[in-house]
Amino acid sequence: MNPIVISIIIASATYIIAIFSANWLNQRHVDKLMEQMDKRIQEQGRRFDDATIATRELLHTRFAAMDEKFDARLTAMDEKFDARFTAMDEKFDARFTAADEQFKARFTAMEERFVVRFKAMEDRFDERHRATEQRFEVRFEALEEHMDLRFDNVDLRFDNVEQSLRSLDDRVRRLEDPLFKPTLR
């Protein structure tokens, strides 16, 4: 073999080995850096978790204290309002009882007056109704007689018209007989 080809092959092999070894060393270095970053991230995560837990505990204690304060204040306000509403309820009951008695007496008197007035109005309306019925009855009887007379006149006219039609019908038959009889020639 040619010494130039051999030296080119050796140089190529050396070059390839150098590239792979440099790549391998670089990869090792990157892996170490990644491990260091993972450790830092885990440490930061642990610190964050610890800080979060501490903040949670602090917030829980503060909210528990605020909750106790609000409960105490709300209980005191509830008791005050209950006392005030009880007093107001007693006052209103006393006032409404007195007003109820007064209104019952007034409504009873008004009801009695209205009953008397309505009875008088009913009597007047009944009397007027009877008088109106009698007047209408007389008028309807007169109207009925008048309408009967008119209908009788209409019936007479219809009878006259029917009689005229019959006589016309007879005339037409008489005229048709001689005109329309078939003749033999």
Band (169; pLDDT cuts 50, 70, 90): confident
Total Cβ atoms within 10 A of residue 155: 10
Q: What angle do CA 143, 149, 155 make, to 5 degrees?
A: 135
Distance CA(160)–CA(166), nearest Å, equals 10
- Predicted confidence at residue 116, as pLDDT, reads 93
Q: State pLDDT tens for residues 9-40.
A: 999 999 888 888 888 888 999 999 999 999 99
Looking up tokens 């209104």 gives 103
Tokens of 170: 């007879």
Q: State pLDDT tens for residues 52-107.
A: 999 999 999 999 999 999 999 999 999 999 999 999 999 989 998 999 999 999 99
Average pLDDT (111-138) is 93
pLDDT at 181 over 80: no
- Predicted confidence at residue 46, as pLDDT, reads 93
Task: Label residues 156-166 b or e (16+ Cβ within 10 Å = b).
Answer: eeeeeeeeeee
Average pLDDT (119-143) is 92
pLDDT at 178 over 90: no
Distance CA(39)–CA(31), nearest Å, equals 12
pLDDT at 168 over 80: yes
Mean pLDDT of the chain: 89
pTM to 2 decimal places: 0.31
pLDDT at 48 over 90: yes
Distance CA(70)–CA(78), nearest Å, equals 12
Share of the chain above pLDDT 90, in %: 75
